[in-house]
Amino acid sequence: MSRAIDPSNIIPKYYQLANILREQIENGTWKANETIQSERQLEQQYNLSRPTIRQAIDLLIAQGYLYRIHGKGTFVSPPKLQKGILELTSFSEDMRNRGLEPGQIFLEFGMTTPPKKVKTRLEISDQNQKVLRIKRIRTGNGEPIGIQDSYLDLPDGKEISRDELEERGSIYAILQEKFGIYPTEADETLEVTLASEEEAQHLSIPTGSPLLLNERILYSQDRKAIEFVSILYRGDRYKYYMRLTKKI
């Protein structure tokens, strides 16, 4: 039986309703992409005003639990993709581990002189050295998940073609299979940012939506920095987790 709204509780009614609906989503009462009750039904069930109900729904939309399609209703968002802090995997591996088909839409591909920040991260001292830049929209089952911007410092005489990457999808796989370069370590940072107009358009989200910025320096088996990559993940579709232990 669904919990009731407690009028005497100091917690605002809209927040109580949001908590009830969130629990129903998390315990499987509402399935992914399933429409939830209409505002009228919620109004009758919980004896709340329409503005209060809309406030609760808007909160859950902002938190990534629901999404709204104009003229059709409000639906349950698919579960957020979860990634462990200590796992070194490519985007493609990440998606396949979750039963999703990884995809890509190329935005840029070619040799370029990297900006100062990238040179520093890749320990490049030659001011004229060029690296391979690959910028893509990354998708899972066709849905935009993030924007990936990679700078690769390949060994002299080594090349990766766009056709190869379109076929394989994963830079890590090509590095291993073609060059015998094995990604073994990475330094990684995470921070929250907001989507620019261009980023929002690529990811099919409103401008100003929260994004998770993941920056990574990738090292090969000989401890050489081979890639600097930044990935902007949709905040409503991705989360990181870690397990902490306390010394006793």
pLDDT in tens, 25-76: 888 888 888 899 888 999 999 999 999 999 999 888 877 788 888 888 899 8
| Distance (Å, whole) CA 155 – CA 153 | 7
Closest by CA position to 137, among listed 205, 239, 207 = 205
Give the per-residue pLDDT at 12.
85
Burial code of 71-83, b = ≥16 C-beta within 10 A, e = fewer? eeebbbbbebbeb
Domains and CATH numbers, the chain: 13-76 (1.10.10.10), 81-241 (3.40.1410.10)
pLDDT in tens, 171-204: 888 888 888 888 888 888 889 999 999 999 999 9
* C-beta of residue 77 within 8 angstroms of C-beta of residue 66: yes
pTM of the prediction?
0.66
